[in-house]
Structure 1
Amino acid sequence: MILHSYPSSPYTRKVHIAIQLLGFSDRVTVRNADVSDPADQLRRDNPLGKVPALLLGNGTSVYDSPVILEYLDHLAGGGRIIPREPEERLAVLTLQALCDGALDACLLIYAESYYRTPEQRVARWVDRHAGKVERALAALEATTPALSGMPNVGQIALACLLGYRDFRFDKTWRDTHPRLHAWHDAFAAAVPAFAASAPFDL
């Protein structure tokens, strides 16, 4: 399998963590994509031109991160990082959706500062997405998931959300969300794949 990846992407970080947790490291070749290059193979394997995308041995492409994680869990026998029991499964997938949505908002905020000059930036746009992030963090602070055994996809997504806040934004979330701060550090200590997949800019 070939994973189209990018080292600063929190979504590819989710997949890297799952690959290591499930023991698939020797079955996946990681290829850093150039998302701005129209000729990059990524656009043939994912028409959206987004990472992550996983190219299977039969030529099938799987994207994006929630679907890839679902496939990897299936490949590992099922019930490893996505619960089988319907109620627990629903809760875990909802946690993943919340964290992914907050990550979407974080990336849109970052893009506003990356692609636009200060004079071009739209404060209402930034405030709208910052509000999503703050509401998500408040909800997660109030319902911080327990850590035990194999992390599930919701916990992986939460760790990547908090890691991305550290990477692209200031770390004030740690002061205002002490339970999440403690949870992040406990996850990092328990899951070596988290540190091994730390984001960086090429």
Structure 2
Amino acid sequence: MKLISSGTSPFVRKVHVLLHETGQYDDLEIAPIPTSPFDTAPEVASANPLGKIPALIRDEGPTLYDSRVICRFLDDRAQSGLYPEARLWETLTLEATADGIMEAAILMLYEHRLRPAEAVLESWVDAQWDKIERAVEALNARWISHLRGPLDMGQIAVGCALAYLDFRHDARGWRKGNDALDDWFALFSQRDSMKATQPAD
């Protein structure tokens, strides 16, 4: 199998962390492919008609894309229990929240990187950050007991989302007023899987 990848995508990092946590990293060929929304690499477009990464090219069966689909497949493949039945809906909701944080953070980045300076809409950027702030506050207020429980995909997704905020939007200061989440992330980021998947720009 081959994973169409990127060194900086938080969605790709989710998959990489899962691979490390489940002992599957060496089972896949990791294929970093430079691509962008304005110039989609042919290999990326071939794997995913939407032109997004990650995409998992399988030896048997169609290519899978969207990080949540890929993570569910790899979890099932390893029977690793990162989507536990006893708290499945909570885990999926937590993963969706983290993915929403990642999406908003990437849109903020694109607004500055892909638009001419005179066309950048700062109110749009701020609106994306408002979404992130609300999500982070909810994680801090409602989800700490889950985050502190046995490892699942929701935790991995949140860890990758917060790490991406540090990577791309550190000056915005997501930690302010979110002490419990900050404490949790400080511990989670010390996992070997997180250390092994730190992004490089």
Q: Same fold (TM over 0.5)?
A: yes
Question: Structure 2-normalised TM-score?
Answer: 0.91
The SS at the match of 2:69 is helix
CA–CA distance in 2 between the matches of 1:194 and 1:25? Answer: 13
List aligned pairs for 1:124-139, cutoff 5 A.
124-139=123-138
Query: Structure 1 runs of 4+ off > 6 angstroms?
Result: none
Measured after TM superposition, the shift of residue 117 of structure 1 is 3.7
Q: Deviations over 1:97-143 (max 9, x none)?
A: 01101111111111111122442111221122111111001101112
Equivalent position amino acid for 1:65 in 2: S
Q: What does residue 164 of structure 1 align with?
A: 164
Query: Unmatched 5+ residue regions in structure 2?
Result: none
Residue 105 of structure 2: aligned partner: 106
Gaps of 5+ in 1: none
Number of residue-to-residue matches in the alignment: 196
Asked if the contact 2:105–2:129 (Cα under 8 Å) also holds between the matched residues in 1, the reply is yes
Structure 1 vs Structure 2: percent identity of aligned residues? 37
**Residues 72-91 of structure 1 mapped to structure 2, 5 A cutoff:** 72-77=74-79, 80-85=81-86, 88-91=87-90
Q: How far has the Cα of 1:38 moved from its partner?
A: 4.7
Conserved 8 A contact 2:35-2:41: no
Contact 1:147/1:187, CA 8 A, preserved across alignment = no
Q: Is the 8 A contact 2:133 2:174 kept in 1?
A: no
2:83–2:91 Cα contact (<8 Å) kept: yes
Contact 1:33 1:40 in 2 (8 A): no
Tell me the distance in 1 between the aligned counterparts of 2:120 and 2:29. Answer: 39
Which of 50, 53, 56 is residue 54 of structure 1 equivalent to?
56
RMSD after superposition: 1.6
Question: Could you tell me how far apart the structure 1 residues matched to 2:147 and 2:98 are?
Answer: 16
